[in-house]
Structure 1
Amino acid sequence: MAEKIGSPEKGHNAWGQAFAAVALFAALGGALWASDVTSGNGSSGTPAASCSDEKEPGKRTGRVTGKQLCEALLRPDLAELLGTPTETAKTAFGNDGSVGLSGGKDIPMPSAEVEFDTYTVTVSATYDDLPVAGSHELLGSATERTVLGRPAVLYSDRTIKINFRLDGGDAESGTGVPLRSVVVAQDEKDSGGSYDVTLWRADGMVPDDAVLLRVAEKVLPTVPGWAAGS
């Protein structure tokens, strides 16, 4: 999916760019995971993760912040929802970033990520004013469905793996592990904007859709602003 960002046939289609940007965010999450493992920052000896250490809280914009997404995602039963109840979250963080499209437009995309030994989970909110219905045509092997009473799309991609050289040489990138994502409309009328929940496994196996949907159905209703779309 990430390669569609630079494909000429999608370059002037704002809808295509926006959903490709969501897919790219999920893939880049895997790049961050890969760099952490390479550098040893993901060791099992680290203390339990917390969202309280975010150094750059988001500005008051009326949108959900990365820290709020992190707090919604890092719930006490998250490991149980993932089917790995004995694991403890190793890292957790939120980010108030955005994605730039051609033409100079920026799409706000706050996000959060929580990493366990088996799974890494991300959740993001995309404020692009575009509907979710029909986006399956832009996301390759994707299927439409309804999640929590709202239009949604399930799709597959792969993370982007980045290896950093300790000698200061150029980093090397390549294809990482498979991921599964679900994009859910921000309101029942699908009037624009979406939430994305993504899973990938450290062992490279394809995540189970039942696990993905179980996490999404528990986490998304706790995101600030979710109820306003009902």
Structure 2
Amino acid sequence: MQPDLGCTALGLFRFSTRRSRVRLPRRTTGANSWVGDTGTMAEQQIADAAEGMGQPEKAPNEWGQALLALVVVGGVAALVLSGTFQQKADDDPEPAECHTSDKARPSKLVSGMQLCTALNRADLPTLLGTPTEYAMTANGNESVGDWADGTKTVTPQAEIQLSTYTVKFSTSEDDIPVAEMAGLLGGSAEKRTVGGHPAVLYSNRTIALKFNLGGGKVDTGPGGIARSLVVARDAKDGGGFYEVSIWRQDDVPPDDLALFRVAEAVLPTVPGWTAG
């Protein structure tokens, strides 16, 4: 019997020489749906990843594992393959530090590394309700999206993975008011306030992908839930927003209180944030 190595959610998959799975968001009508179809872009990236993994490795170890990032910015951007991760060894007591790809393109207002630095707090595990855990991987980068209408966007983003949770943090300069996003993010989206700024809380369903490293098609199946907060950059909701998303490595729904604790602690430390 071939070993089943299990799943992570949304942003990261783990694979051996046999088979692996990855969780990705379903196609959504998120905050940026008006500039392009994120699902089409995601499908192309998945196909590219599957093709690349179909190449055999030299002298494979049956239980050897590697990490590859499939990064998605909640409901507001597209799937990209980028970023450099630092994996914490079992005998290393230090949490991961933020790293970035050499090809990262800093944005005008804030970079992915700045977002990663703000997110990679010493108390992040406590904010998530898992105080004994640590950051196993941490990265910050800028994803570049080419949309169907010819628009090109640069989205700074950061992602940190712990044993239980993964947290993604991104920002956008889109001028759509956050107050108008609730209608774009599904019927369960809720208007909230974070630090005196308008916000929207919503869920995103993930997809589990199974890659057969020996070749063949990529199988898909239902995944878990990610919870996200889209928060206006300023209290007047004059355009631009931040998005904080969390999901678990298992199928258990994330804790909304943990999401709000992270957002309320991290957002005031980011360049460009104004007090409400």
**Shorter-chain-normalised TM-score: which range?**
0.7 to 0.9
Q: Distance in 2 between matches of 1:179 and 1:65?
A: 24
Task: Give the Cα separation in 1 of the matches to 2:26 and 2:35.
Answer: 11
Over residues 71-96 of structure 1, what are the superposed CA-to-partner deviations in whole Å (9 max), with x where a residue is unaligned? 11110000011111100111111121
TM-score by length of 1: 0.79
Given the superposition, is the C-alpha separation of residues 61 and 157 from structure 1 closer, same or farther in structure 2, using an over 3 Å criterion?
Answer: closer
After TM superposition, list the pairs within 5 Å mapping 1:63-78 onto structure 2. 63-78=109-124
2:100 matched to 1:54?
A: yes
Partner of 2:97, secondary structure, is coil
Higher helix share: 1
Distance (Å, rounded) in 2 between the aligned partners of 1:19 and 1:215: 29
Does residue 182 of structure 1 match 2:229? yes
Q: SS in structure 1 opposite 2:179? A: coil
Per the normalisation by structure 2, the TM-score is 0.67
Matched, 1:193 2:240: yes
Alpha-carbon spacing, 1:43–1:61, altered in 2? closer, same or farther (3 Å) = closer
Query: Could you say which residue in structure 1 is the equivalent of 2:67?
Result: none
Q: How many residues align?
A: 210
Match status 1:87 vs 2:133: yes
Is residue 157 of structure 2 the alignment partner of residue 157 of structure 1? no
Instruction: Give the percent of matched residue pairs that are identical in Structure 1 and Structure 2.
Output: 45
Once the two structures are overlaid, the 10-residue window that deviates more, 93-102 or 198-207, is 93-102
CA deviation after TM superposition for structure 1 residue 42, in Å = 7.2
Is 1:3 the equivalent of 2:49?
no
1:45 paired with 2:69, answer no
Pick the aligned partner of 1:25 from 56, 66, 73: 73
Where does 1:75-224 land on structure 2 (aligned, <5 Å)? Answer: 75-140=121-186, 141-224=188-271
- Specify whether residues 171 and 46 from structure 1 end up closer, same or farther in structure 2 by C-alpha distance, changes over 3 A only: farther
Distance 1:83 1:4 in 2: 29
- The structural deviation recorded for 1:153 is 0.2
Rate the CA distance shift 1:42–1:18 in 2: closer, same or farther, 3 A: farther
Q: Distance in 2 between matches of 1:193 and 1:182?
A: 14
Instruction: Label 1:19 to 1:187 Cα distance change in 2 as closer, same or farther (>3 A).
Output: farther
Contact 2:87–2:96 (8 Å) recurs in 1: no
What amino acid is the match of 2:120?
L
> Who is 1:35 aligned against?
none
Letter in 1 for 2:182: H
Q: Is the 8 A contact 1:143 1:155 kept in 2?
A: yes
Q: Is the 8 A contact 2:35 2:149 kept in 1?
A: no
* Structure with greater Cα Rg: 2
Write the distance in 1 (CA, Å) between the matches of 2:104 and 2:266: 20
> Which consecutive residues of structure 2, in runs of 5 or more, have no partner in the other structure?
1-24, 39-71, 81-85
